A = this chain, B = another copy of it.
Amino acid sequence: MTKPANLGSSPMVSRDSGGSLVEQIVRSVACRIDDKLLRTGSRMPSIRQFADEQKVSRFTVVEAYDRLVANGYLESRRGSGFFVRERASLLNNLSPVTQPLPTSQQPDVVWLIRNMFRQLPPQKMPGSGLLPHEWLDGELVANGLRSISRLNQNLLLHYGTQQGFLPLRQQLQLKLAELEIAASPEQIVTTNGVTQALDLVASEFTQPGDTIFVDDPAWFLMFGTFATLGAKVIGIPRLHDGPDVAKLAELAALHKPKLYIIHSVLHNPTSTSLSAAKAFQVLKTAEQHDFMIVEDDVYCDMHPGSAVQPATRLAALDQLNRVIYLGGFSKTLAANLRVGFIATSHQNAIRFSDRKMLSTLTTNEICERVVHKILSEGHYRKHVDRIRSKLDTARHEVTSRVEKMGMQVEYRTPAGMFLWVETGTDTIALTEKALEKGILIAPGSLFSPHQLPSTHMRINVAAMGDEGVWKFLENELR
């Protein structure tokens, strides 16, 4: 057997320096290997010997050696000990060929969405669709995770149930009942956010070549989703109280759509809500031309109630016959949890649930348990109350400053996180300039179902706290 490698006489650990003893050993050994002080292939001291020399417990050495193996620094050979491995060569000798990628010159949907996920500082993202961290309650989510980690561990190991975690669906039944929408847990299917919900519904209800109606403007990501399904997307002009219903009827007669995707309350990007009269007309048109309505209510919990802005849900009128209702918690809890849901007829629920199974098997029950815990413990209501009240202040301040700059806020709604702003200039050009300065703007053409040029942009009132962003806008839009 070869002589073990010489680690030098200096101690590797110190009770005073940072990190656990295991971490200190891992760091020291890894550095010595990276610096070639330990030769590839040489044998490490035995666990016992290392422990004695460094005056640490054997358990500590076992832990440290295990981590070094997991990170490619050591190799464990059964019965003969641990050997130094050339980590750099493990990775580098296999040199992957990465071609340079064509970069899109013109901002398009995919371009903007990719930028949405770039690690820009959140205060530099007035175009973001999320609330800033400090508006949310990380402690709620962290507490949820901690309490799930203390459950019977068997619950963590296996698949979730096909339709989603039952107690969460029961809690959603209550939430829906308060909106006057009757849905038993069997009528609810959980999804990986509203994005998956839209994908499942559109996959199930359309064939390539079919037409899907959306609002114009509308949430841009779904244009891409529907395009991958081969569907034709047509926009219905959105007014202050809902869609242009005359146009809706005219286009429905012409295009025979299969689906109409609509935000009834706090429409993205205009923050408008549907009046009761418009809601009724939309349903009548859907019946007449026999299309389904997908009511995306992801901004539900930001809505201040019918005393402030209309709050008619299409599903409350129709009771999930022709309306498929979508909701989620990405906006008010944490986008990272990826918990959304579909409420629909029992038969549709089975169809969506089977399709979910075929595309992603089950959704993540761990995160569904976290959301269930947060909803059932009652802190959620106060949390969204606080968000709404902060939004009111921010909307007021941002509106007045935007208007002082000479821009026009369309609709001036009394609720929601978005302002739909007429800038008087092409906002794609503005977006390109902003990105050079590390600022993310959401230009109007992205929200156009046909990406038409636009002088509008969407502003997130919660993300306008940065003077640099204001300066940029003032400079460009003078």
The yes or no answer to A435 lying at the interface (CB within 8 A) is no
Closest chain B CB from A349 CB (angstroms): 9
CA distance A122 to B355 in the complex (A): 25
CA distance A366 to B366 in the complex (A): 10
Assess the A377–B70 pair: CB atoms within 8 A: yes
A174 nearest in chain B by CB position: B72
Assess the B361–A162 pair: CB atoms within 8 A: no
Q: Inside 8 A of A174's CB, which chain B residues have their CB?
A: 71-72, 90-91
The yes or no answer to A277 lying at the interface (CB within 8 A) is no
Assess the A162–B376 pair: CB atoms within 8 A: no
The yes or no answer to A473 lying at the interface (CB within 8 A) is no
Assess the B72–A177 pair: CB atoms within 8 A: yes
The yes or no answer to A211 lying at the interface (CB within 8 A) is no
The yes or no answer to A31 lying at the interface (CB within 8 A) is no
Assess the A139–B158 pair: CB atoms within 8 A: no
Q: Report which of B90, B199, B361 forms a contact with A338, defined as CB distance below 8 A.
A: B361
Closest chain B CB from A75 CB (angstroms): 9
A72 nearest in chain B by CB position: B174
Over the window 376-401 of chain A, the binary record of Cβ atoms lying under 8 Å from chain B Cβ atoms (1 yes, 0 no) is 11111110000000000000000000
Assess the A157–B178 pair: CB atoms within 8 A: no
- Chain A 75-118 residues near chain B, CB threshold 8 A: 76, 90-91, 94-96, 98-99, 101, 110, 113-114, 116-117
Q: Inside 8 A of A338's CB, which chain B residues have their CB?
A: 360-364
The yes or no answer to A196 lying at the interface (CB within 8 A) is yes
Contact (A138, B159) CB under 8 Å given A90-B174, A199-B359, A359-B199: no
Closest chain B CB from A202 CB (angstroms): 10
Q: Inside 8 A of A177's CB, which chain B residues have their CB?
A: 72, 90-91, 94
A184 nearest in chain B by CB position: B96
Among A183, A196, A362, max chain B CB count under 10 A is at A362
The yes or no answer to A414 lying at the interface (CB within 8 A) is no
Contact (A192, B361) CB under 8 Å given A157-B138, A157-B336: yes
CA distance A369 to B122 in the complex (A): 21
Q: Inside 8 A of A367's CB, which chain B residues have their CB?
A: 364, 366-367
Closest chain B CB from A268 CB (angstroms): 14
Closest chain B CB from A81 CB (angstroms): 15
Q: Inside 8 A of A240's CB, which chain B residues have their CB?
A: none
Assess the A359–B196 pair: CB atoms within 8 A: yes
Assess the A366–B117 pair: CB atoms within 8 A: no
Assess the A117–B161 pair: CB atoms within 8 A: yes
CA distance A98 to B360 in the complex (A): 26
Over the window 331-342 of chain A, the binary record of Cβ atoms lying under 8 Å from chain B Cβ atoms (1 yes, 0 no) is 000111110000
Contact (A136, B157) CB under 8 Å given A375-B70, A377-B67: yes
Assess the A156–B334 pair: CB atoms within 8 A: yes
Q: Report which of B65, B70, B224, B334 forms a contact with A157, defined as CB distance below 8 A.
A: B334
CA distance A150 to B141 in the complex (A): 11
Q: Inside 8 A of A95's CB, which chain B residues have their CB?
A: 182
CA distance A378 to B75 in the complex (A): 12
The yes or no answer to A17 lying at the interface (CB within 8 A) is no
Closest chain B CB from A164 CB (angstroms): 11
CA distance A376 to B138 in the complex (A): 25
A135 nearest in chain B by CB position: B157
**New A-B contacts (8) at CB < 8 Å, excluding given A67-B376, A69-B378, A203-B228:** A66-B382, A94-B181, A122-B158, A133-B153, A133-B157, A192-B192, A359-B359, A366-B367
Closest chain B CB from A296 CB (angstroms): 14
CA distance A65 to B184 in the complex (A): 25
The yes or no answer to A431 lying at the interface (CB within 8 A) is no
Assess the A355–B157 pair: CB atoms within 8 A: no
Q: Inside 8 A of A221's CB, which chain B residues have their CB?
A: 357-358, 361
Could you show 15 A-B contacts with beta carbons less than 8 Å apart? A70-B375, A70-B380, A71-B174, A76-B381, A96-B182, A99-B346, A101-B346, A110-B354, A122-B158, A157-B336, A199-B359, A225-B359, A335-B361, A338-B360, A364-B364
CA distance A148 to B63 in the complex (A): 20
Closest chain B CB from A201 CB (angstroms): 12
A223 nearest in chain B by CB position: B358
Contact (A153, B138) CB under 8 Å given A158-B336, A193-B360: yes
The yes or no answer to A180 lying at the interface (CB within 8 A) is yes
The yes or no answer to A10 lying at the interface (CB within 8 A) is no
Assess the A182–B94 pair: CB atoms within 8 A: yes
Q: Inside 8 A of A136's CB, which chain B residues have their CB?
A: 157
